[in-house]
Amino acid sequence: MKFELMDFLMNPFVLMFAAVITGILFGKIKFGKFNFGVSGALFTGLFIGWLAYSLGNLIIEKGETAAGYKAATVMMGNGIISSDFFDFFLIIFVAAVGLLAAKDMKAVLKKYGARFVILGVLITFIGGFMTYAMTLLSSDKGSSAYEVSGVYTGALTSSPGLAAALETAGKHAEDVSKEFEKASIKDKKEILKVVDPEGKLDVNTTTSLTQEQIDKYIAYAEAGVGIGHAVAYPFGVLIVILGVNFLPKLFRMDLKEERRKYEKEMKEARDSVSGKNDTRSSI
């Protein structure tokens, strides 16, 4: 069996593991007193993805005789990494978060429940409101609602939110394109701009779209969400990392003392949930 270097470099498993390994190494590099940790894989993934995309385009432009043409076509058709990988690893990630959080869920809700719920609702609501406002402000400047929704999930660094946004965008794009005849003139122009970039279709005479055109618009919607998420996510991660490292200094917090207080409060909350305090008081 002949070894093809280009096929190897564009293999999705090679790309993912290369991003993970280099990300772990990059995450250990100290920048002053902080480092990126596991978030380093995001930045190396962006860089490796850009390299793979550039290489794939270059090979395809050279034609079918170029080395690695078939692998490049498959890779570019999948969007570098197949969505099946994304869905699978997202499920693992969400399940792992749930399993890790389950241990102290009852104690945390009893101790901090109202404050955490209010804080979570406020952060999500304010972010959603600002996203909607930016959608209205930027709709005349070329950006789409799909891209802005991706920016929302990226700024919140929410992977489950991205999955929900992709699903919603795909469903919305499918409904709009299938009911093309009922759409407004403005929406029709936007849809035709995507499915017919050469401008052969007329907005006044086109009454419906083919299945190929519908699929193309759905792919455009999902790609818009992905682009928005990819642009905003690094900044969301950076702000969180910088905030975690510099806010304690800004507010002159003693982290060791705060950790000691937190551990004491959580121990009391766990004891309260498990009934240990009640047992001691009854004795």
- Checking if the pLDDT of 279 tops 70, the result is no
pLDDT tens-digit readout, 54-63 = 998 899 888 8
Res 276: pLDDT: 59
Interatomic CA distance for residues 148 and 127, integer angstroms: 11
- Checking if the pLDDT of 52 tops 70, the result is yes
34 SS3 class: strand
- Checking if the pLDDT of 267 tops 60, the result is yes
Average pLDDT for 129-148: 78
Which residue from 185, 133, 127, 137 is spatially nearest to 158, judged by alpha carbons? 127
Q: Are 28 and 57 in contact (CB under 8 A)?
A: no
What is the rounded radius of gyration, in angstroms, for the C-alpha atoms of the chain? 24
Which residue from 18, 98, 91 is spatially nearest to 51, judged by alpha carbons? 18
pLDDT tens-digit readout, 9-31 = 888 899 999 999 999 999 999 87
Res 99: pLDDT: 87
What residues does each domain of the chain span?
Answer: 1-81
Average pLDDT for 233-246: 83
Q: Are 188 and 206 in contact (CB under 8 A)?
A: yes
Res 141: pLDDT: 65
- Residues forming a β-bridge with 31: 34
280: confidence class by pLDDT, cuts 50, 70, 90: very low
The 10 Å Cβ neighbour count of residue 94 is 13
Res 115: pLDDT: 83
Mean pLDDT of the chain: 83
Q: Are 145 and 135 in contact (CB under 8 A)?
A: yes
30 SS3 class: coil
Average pLDDT for 145-164: 88
- Checking if the pLDDT of 248 tops 90, the result is no
Lowest mean pLDDT of 78-82, 136-140, 251-255, name the range. Answer: 136-140
- Checking if the pLDDT of 130 tops 60, the result is yes
Selected residue with higher pLDDT from 66 and 78: 66
Average pLDDT for 209-214: 88
Tokens 């982290």 belong to 255
Selected residue with higher pLDDT from 106 and 157: 157
Res 139: pLDDT: 65
- Checking if the pLDDT of 259 tops 60, the result is yes
pLDDT above 70: percentage of residues in the chain? 94
The model's pTM is 0.73
